[in-house]
């Protein structure tokens, strides 16, 4: 299972490779990888193995199952094939399977898995670089020339159209999918792998020299890739990570040597960006490149006008890039009606409140929980920005990663409580007072 999990991270960013048509739509490489790994896990382990994950994520699972069941019923009512809810049901199963694997890695039940996950970021970065290199060669894209033009004009649109959009062509995806800012999920996979590798480097046995070098190379390469992506949503999610680390240091009243080093590297990196001129490109992407903001506003206007007639039974198509509000809750309401929208709001609120609770109590968590808590920002941001208004595949993997680690933390807290209770002197007197440690908050409780 170790190499299979590493293979998942290799395939996760290669989202522009289509493998053929299915009754549920075009099958893409990363989708097949996620579902294949999930199928292997579900076939290999008995149902009882998934109990810790189910207990921790019960509320999340129930809300999603209710959402998808109502959506499927509405599709049948509206004489539409329920391909969307069926596909999302598969991702719920993948969430369960992958969450179990991350739980087993953290608890030591899967020997060697933590060690192999230390290579996840490097494997993902190499996969992205080689994938783009091959795609650019096939499509005749000259990235150096385009980058020079982009910096000279300080126009982020040049890089998006002449590198990303051009590179994704010729691999089986339709023009709308290629034009639909596919890079967000590709570089979301890079960010997720960086979370996972950072967590893995901080737990278990000390990292080897090769693992440390590979990790450092991956973090530098990954940071460069994220900057070049010009993906506003992914960059926002990435910025949350150092903010959470700084917040933890403030609550603890100290700064670690690692954080001081990271601050120095960050300042140096920003300086290089400014000197290269690429910093202006990123700034313009957030401030002057407002085409996306305007189209999103137009989509919201159309969506609210549609809700006047479809607020109860839904049936509005949100699959197209220009038909979606890019909002998980609102698009769910449009597709599946009021009760689907309420269930989507419950899912979003549940994840959001769990994340806020973790952030506020991050100083009570071990150091390795920082990338785990930061990882929850990725699906939250994507639920408010992803085209189609669905939880994207990469976000499902991120949710599984967080849920698996929270399941392990909950189990640790429960064992600590049992140990302290059993050590209490008979009658609670005659010895030093022992205070019980409350069990960790479950992912299902918001």
pLDDT tens per residue across span 32-67: 999 999 999 999 999 999 999 999 999 999 999 999
What pLDDT is recorded for position 436?
A: 35
Confirm if 207 and 128 have CB atoms less than 8 A apart: no
Q: Is residue 438 part of a domain?
A: no
Say what angle helices 328-336 and 338-360 make with each other, to 10 degrees: 160
Indicate if the alpha-carbon torsion angle 234, 142, 279, 264 is positive or negative.
positive
- Chain mean pLDDT for the chain: 88
- Residue 55, exposed/middle/buried by CB under 10 A (0-12, 13-18, 19+)? middle
Q: Is residue 439 part of a domain?
A: no
What's 367's DSSP letter? Answer: T
* Residue numbers of the chain with a pLDDT score lower than 70: 176, 179-181, 256, 258-260, 262-276, 290-294, 320-322, 417-446
Question: What is 221-267 written as a DSSP string?
Answer: HHHHHHHHHT-HHHHHHHHHHHHHHHHHHHHHT---HHHHHHHHHHH
Helix (H, G, I), strand (E, B) or coil at 19: strand
Helix (H, G, I), strand (E, B) or coil at 361: coil
Structure tokens at 295: 């189209």
Q: Is residue 359 part of a domain?
A: yes
What pLDDT is recorded for position 3?
A: 96
From CA 256, how far away is CA 370, in angstroms rounded? 13
Helix (H, G, I), strand (E, B) or coil at 18: strand
Distance from the Cα of residue 335 to its chain's centroid: 23
Range of the domain at 331: 2-426
> Dihedrals φ, ψ of 27, to 5°?
-85, 125
pLDDT tens per residue across span 75-88: 999 999 999 999 99
Q: Is residue 445 part of a domain?
A: no
Domain count, the chain: 1
Q: Is residue 440 part of a domain?
A: no
From CA 11, how far away is CA 7, in angstroms rounded? 6
Neighbours of 206 (CB within 10 A): 7
What pLDDT is recorded for position 270?
A: 65
Q: Is residue 60 part of a domain?
A: yes
Instruction: Report pTM.
Output: 0.91
Q: Is residue 238 part of a domain?
A: yes
What's 165's DSSP letter? Answer: I
Sequence length of the chain is 446
Q: Is residue 433 part of a domain?
A: no
């Amino acid at each position: 299972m170790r190499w299979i999990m590493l293979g998942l991270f290799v395939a996760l960013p290669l989202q522009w490779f289509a493998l053929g048509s299915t009754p549920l739509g075009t099958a893409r490489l990363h989708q097949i990888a996620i579902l294949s790994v999930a199928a292997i896990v579900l076939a290999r382990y008995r149902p009882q193995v998934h109990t810790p994950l189910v207990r921790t994520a019960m509320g999340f699972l129930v809300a999603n199952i209710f959402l998808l069941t109502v959506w499927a019923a509405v599709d049948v009512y509206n004489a539409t094939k329920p391909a969307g809810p069926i596909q999302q049901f598969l991702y719920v199963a993948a969430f369960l399977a992958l969450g179990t694997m991350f739980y087993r890695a953290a608890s030591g039940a899967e020997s060697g898995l933590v060690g192999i996950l230390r290579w996840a970021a490097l494997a993902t970065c190499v996969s992205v670089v080689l994938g783009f290199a091959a795609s650019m060669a096939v499509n005749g894209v000259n990235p150096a020339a385009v980058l020079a033009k982009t910096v000279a004009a300080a126009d982020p649109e040049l890089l998006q159209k002449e590198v990303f959009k051009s590179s994704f062509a010729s691999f089986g995806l339709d023009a709308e999918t290629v034009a639909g800012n596919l890079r967000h999920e590709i570089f979301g996979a890079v960010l997720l792998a960086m979370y996972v590798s950072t967590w893995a480097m901080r737990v278990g046995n000390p990292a080897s020299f090769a693992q440390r070098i590979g990790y450092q190379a991956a973090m530098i390469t990954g940071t460069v890739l994220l900057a070049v992506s010009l993906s506003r949503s992914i960059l926002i999610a990435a910025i949350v990570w150092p903010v959470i680390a700084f917040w933890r240091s403030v609550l603890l009243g100290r700064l670690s040597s690692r954080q001081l080093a990271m601050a120095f590297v960050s300042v140096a990196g920003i300086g290089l960006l400014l000197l290269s001129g690429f910093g202006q490109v990123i700034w313009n992407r957030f401030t002057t490149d407002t085409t996306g903001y305007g189209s999103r506003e137009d989509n919201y206007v159309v969506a609210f006008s549609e809700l006047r007639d479809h607020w109860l039974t839904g049936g509005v198509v949100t699959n197209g890039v220009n038909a979606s509000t890019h909002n998980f809750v609102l698009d769910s309401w449009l597709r599946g009606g009021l009760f689907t929208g309420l269930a989507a709001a419950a899912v979003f609120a549940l994840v959001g409140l769990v994340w806020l609770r973790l952030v506020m109590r991050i100083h009570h968590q071990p150091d390795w929980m920082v990338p785990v808590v930061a990882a929850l920002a990725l699906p939250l941001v994507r639920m408010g920005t992803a085209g189609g208004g669905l939880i994207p595949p990469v976000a499902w993997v991120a949710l599984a990663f967080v849920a698996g680690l929270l399941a392990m933390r909950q189990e640790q807290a429960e064992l600590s409580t049992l140990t302290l209770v059993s050590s209490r002197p008979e009658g609670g007197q005659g010895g030093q007072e022992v205070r019980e440690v409350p069990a960790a908050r479950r992912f299902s409780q918001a």
